[in-house]
Amino acid sequence: MKLLKAFLCAAFVLAFAALVFGQKGRTLAENFSATNMDGQTVELESLRGKVVLVTFWSTKCPICDSEIPKLNQMATSYKGKDVVFLGLTTDNPTRVESFLKMKPFNFDIIPSSFGVLMKYADRDGSGNINMGYPAYFLINQNGEIEMKTNGWDKTGKLNTQISRLLTTEQSKVE
């Protein structure tokens, strides 16, 4: 009986890890089209060939707030490279504009993104949405979800994966 409990516990842990980190290179990212804070349309499909980091965040999320400087630093370090940073929030443009005056974000910010959130959120067996903020979806050059994670201090892991994707793509070109 103890062996069965240990096996079930291990299976649960592995299933949870697969849920949190995604199946590398197997799941095609759900396309979306949304309007950014500048009034321009952003379509995920049009970003194929680039690495895309989609971050779901909220103006009311203290963890999101604390992560902005690290995310800004990461976005700045990839400026001029084939990496796109998208920050999606369900907050309305007025609230986001007010927030960004206090805490600027070096991402392309897309407000009122509830529909996109619904496409990306995990659901339990009862249909309840499971997504903690901030949530990160790293999409490779082929449009596949390379990594998904959420919570505090994920920039190191994200940075490592972005660098790896850029290096892998560069070696294909050479």
pLDDT tens per residue across span 90-134: 999 999 999 999 999 999 999 999 999 988 887 556 666 667 889
Provide the residue range defining the domain that includes 124. Answer: 24-173
pLDDT bracket for residue 172 (50, 70, 90): low
Q: Residue 151: inside a domain, yes or no?
A: yes
Q: Residue 132: inside a domain, yes or no?
A: yes
Instruction: Round to whole Å and give the CA distance between 83 and 77.
Output: 10
pLDDT bracket for residue 170 (50, 70, 90): low
Instruction: Say how many domains are in the chain.
Output: 1
Q: Residue 153: inside a domain, yes or no?
A: yes
Beta-sheet pairing, 135-139 with 51-57: antiparallel
pTM > 0.85: yes or no = no
Q: Judge contact between 58 and 88, C-beta under 8 A.
A: no
pLDDT tens per residue across span 36-84: 999 999 999 999 999 999 999 999 999 999 999 999 999 999 999 999 9
Q: Residue 128: inside a domain, yes or no?
A: yes
Instruction: Round to whole Å and give the CA distance between 26 and 142.
Output: 10
Instruction: Round to whole Å and give the CA distance between 169 and 158.
Output: 17
Q: Residue 19: inside a domain, yes or no?
A: no
CATH code at 82?
A: 3.40.30.10
**pLDDT exceeds cutoff 90 at 173:** no
**pLDDT exceeds cutoff 70 at 87:** yes
Q: Residue 135: inside a domain, yes or no?
A: yes
Report the pLDDT averaged over residues 164-170.
Answer: 80
Q: Residue 80: inside a domain, yes or no?
A: yes
pLDDT bracket for residue 11 (50, 70, 90): very low
Residue 27's pLDDT is: 87
CA 72 to each of CA 19, 28, 167: distance values in angstroms, whole numbers, following the listed order: 27, 26, 21
| Displacement of CA 83 from its chain's centroid (Å) | 13
Q: Residue 4: inside a domain, yes or no?
A: no
Report the pLDDT averaged over residues 144-156.
Answer: 91
Residue 129's pLDDT is: 61
What three-state secondary structure class fits 138? strand
